[in-house]
């Protein structure tokens, strides 16, 4: 079944997993609103989406600012003629042992990974209600939202928080015909993992690439995940085949964490 004719907004769409989701939902038939703090990157992805044959707009917005999220959702509806799916994908990682975490770091990662998702849920659901129809809200959690990893403690806390928000929102918005689910990727070879690996190397003296290889070594399917692997699951969550699913945070990690 398809999402042909639907409009999807994706945050953090300038690269990595967000870019792959945009291209996948465009191939599935949706028009795409691409949101990121990096305007050049999101413009380039919009060109790629148009090459697939979908309509695309690129919007610069910081998900930590509710007003900017509101403007992005309003412009999406106005410029693409609807609003049906929001993917709250934008996120950042931080690597630090709990002993060394600073208040500034905590504030920043909570703002992006938790508040950013919260505003996307709140503003997105309000727009679905205003338009008088249901919708799909899809949030980025992680394997780190199911299991705490050393040096990734605060990041893990934010991704557990996304699962909590997803469950609560699923219950609050169910009667509006809005479903709320999360995706929990494993080890995806994006810039985020380059940064994580470099930071582990700097903190522990591990050779560059060793931390990434160690995580990948634990994956039952024997390879790192691609952004397209994640996008395939988000395609299911965005489409009608998942209409009877809400409040879930599914692991899509090649068999790394078992819950």
Does 58 help bind ligand NAI (rule: CB under 6 A)?
A: no
Residue 89 and residue 66: Cα distance in Å, rounded? 15
- Token pair of 39, please? 């305007």
Question: Residue 31: in which H helix or E strand, if any?
Answer: strand 31-36
- Residue 114 binds which entry of ligand NAI, ligand CC(=O)C(C)=O, none, with Cβ cut-offs from 5 to 8 Å by kind? none
**Which residue has tokens 């991704």?**
159
> Which member of 143, 157, 238, 249 binds ligand CC(=O)C(C)=O (CB under 6 A)?
143
β-bridge mates for residue 80, sequence order: none
Which residue, chain included where needed, has tokens 């060109």? 47
Q: Which region holds residue 151: left if phi is over 0, alpha if psi is between -120 and 50, else beta?
A: left
Three-class DSSP labels, 240-255: HHHCCCCCCEEEECCC
- The answer on whether 29 is annotated among ligand-binding residues is no
Q: Which lies closer to ligand NAI via its Cβ, residue 176 or residue 195?
A: 195
Nearest approach, Cβ of residue 176 and ligand NAI (Å): 25
* Structure tokens that stand for 174 in this block: 């169910």
Q: Round to whole Å and give the CA distance between 35 and 160.
A: 24
**Considering only residues 101, 106, 110, 192, which one is a binding residue for ligand NAI as defined by CB under 6 A?**
192
- Specify the stretch interacting with ligand NAI by CB under 6 A; choose among 50-58, 119-127, 184-192, 234-242: 184-192
Question: Which of 60, 106, 111, 192 forms a contact with ligand CC(=O)C(C)=O (CB under 6 A)?
Answer: 192
**Which residues form the interface with ligand NAI (CB under 6 A)?**
11-12, 14-18, 36-38, 41, 62-64, 89-92, 112, 116, 140, 142, 185, 187-188, 190-193
| Catalytically active residues, by annotation | 155
**Which residues form the interface with ligand CC(=O)C(C)=O (CB under 6 A)?**
93, 142-144, 152, 192, 196
């Amino acid at each position: 079944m398809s999402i042909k004719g639907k409009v999807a907004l994706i945050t953090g769409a300038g690269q990595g997993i967000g870019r792959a989701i945009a291209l996948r939902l465009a191939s599935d038939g949706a028009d795409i609103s691409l949101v990121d703090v990096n305007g050049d990157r999101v413009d380039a992805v919009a060109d790629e989406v148009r090459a697939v044959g979908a309509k695309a707009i690129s919007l610069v917005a910081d998900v930590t600012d509710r007003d900017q999220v509101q403007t992005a959702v309003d412009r999406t509806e106005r410029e693409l003629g609807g609003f049906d799916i929001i993917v709250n994908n934008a996120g950042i990682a931080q690597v630090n042992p709990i002993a060394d975490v600073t208040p500034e770091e905590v504030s920043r990662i909570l703002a992006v990974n938790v508040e950013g998702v919260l505003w996307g849920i709140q503003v997105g659901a309000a727009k679905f209600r205003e338009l008088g129809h249901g919708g799909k809200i899809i949030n980025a959690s992680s394997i780190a939202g199911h299991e705490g990893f050393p040096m990734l403690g605060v990041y893990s806390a934010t991704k557990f928080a996304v699962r909590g928000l997803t469950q609560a929102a699923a219950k609050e918005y169910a009667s509006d015909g809005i479903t709320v689910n999360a995706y929990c990727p494993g080890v995806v070879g994006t810039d985020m993992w380059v940064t994580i690996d470099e930071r582990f190397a700097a903190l522990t003296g591990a050779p560059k690439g060793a931390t990434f290889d160690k995580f990948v070594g634990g994956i039952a399917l024997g390879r790192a995940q691609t952004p397209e692997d994640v996008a395939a699951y988000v395609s299911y969550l965005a489409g009608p085949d998942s209409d009877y699913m809400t409040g879930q945070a599914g692991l899509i990690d090649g068999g790394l964490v078992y819950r």
